[in-house]
Amino acid sequence: MNHLPKPRTLRRGEDFAEAGLAAPDQIETIDLVARRYAVAMTPLLAELAEPGGPIARQFVPDMAELESDAHELADPIGDQTHSPVKGIVHRYPDRLLLTPLLHCPVYCRFCFRRERVGGEEKALNDAELAAALDYIRAHDEVWEVVLTGGDPLMLPPFRLAALLAALEAIPHVQVIRIHSRIPIADPERVDADLVAALTGVDVALWLAVHCNHAEEFSPAAVGACRRLSAAGIPLVGQTVLLKGVNDRAETLEALFRAMVRNRIKPYYLHHPDLAPGTGHFRTSIAAGQTLMRALRGRVSGLCQPTYVLDIPGGYGKVPVGPAYWNGETVTDWQGAQYNYSTLTSGDVKK
């Protein structure tokens, strides 16, 4: 029997140095950042990462995180503005967020909830969860419940199953969507018990898998995604556009091809939110639009996410992708423009 200790999650500067992801003179910096924001990187991702590479950049703390711009916000997408009950964010009429816990297997350095995740209040208690469910029951316009966090798949399978059953019992809830990093960051958790919890309800359940670079698709992650899709769970992909990680057309192409190859439909490409200390990750919207235009001719529609911006202050998520139609001319994937009204007459004007 193998009695070797299980590799531990990286949380301290010394952990990152031992993993070869930080120089000795960076230990103090990492620990300084860790006193301000939650830090965690799974052993699997640490093994995949190269120092300074796209995976390391997402999870290894940087001193830049302690430098905030005046326009950055502690609550960049206005969760608190739309939170009538603890654990609920009700921004749109027909759907809402339910946050059962604020604990994650990894803590992304660009997280828009970085002021809240990993703190002392890691999970709703029984009374708080009951109040959140009562709110959903009282609002029959709610068609879809999005479980987010934190990472909902960090819940023990029996607790997750009980929560899903409670939501399924609400007649007007027709869809449950779960947002998770676990299939990529900690795929061993996607075991038979977790799959059974996810498939134990008849209500439509979708899983949004967060992944930002093709290198994150380890064999273990591929296996986890296949177990989920084989169980009949539809998978969609969420990606954050990050400077120095995936802000090149060929990088996004490789990522979205990897997603589709693993039966994950790219869903959203998020423009980074204005969370404090994340300016070193943000590109301009114009740069993101250029990337999306480049992807149009490089990959099929299956590989095309919607490029979106969460309007600061809680005003909602909107597409900000490039426009191909201006009321008179239409632009093809190579950038050529055509007069739409004359295309069928044989008199094409460029």
Residues with a catalytic annotation lie at 91-92, 95, 104, 108, 111, 113, 273, 310, 317
Q: Which position has the token pair 């676990």?
A: 182
Residues 151, 185: contact at Cβ < 8 Å? Answer: no
**C-alpha separations of 236 from 107, 118, 125, 179, 228 in Å:** 21, 25, 30, 9, 12
- For helices 126-138 and 157-168, the axis angle rounded to 10 degrees is 20
Dist. CA 267–CA 253, nearest whole Å: 14
Stated length of the chain: 350
Helix, strand, or coil (residue 227): helix
**C-alpha separations of 116 from 101, 129, 173, 280 in Å:** 10, 18, 27, 20
* CB atoms inside a 10 Å sphere around CB 141: 11
- CB neighbour list of residue 343: distance below 8 Å, 6 or more residues apart: none
Name the amino acid, one letter, at 26. Answer: Q
Q: What are the structure tokens assigned to 20, written together? A: 């070869």
Structural element, H or E, at residue 54: helix 54-59
Name the amino acid, one letter, at 216. Answer: E
Residues 323, 330: contact at Cβ < 8 Å? Answer: no
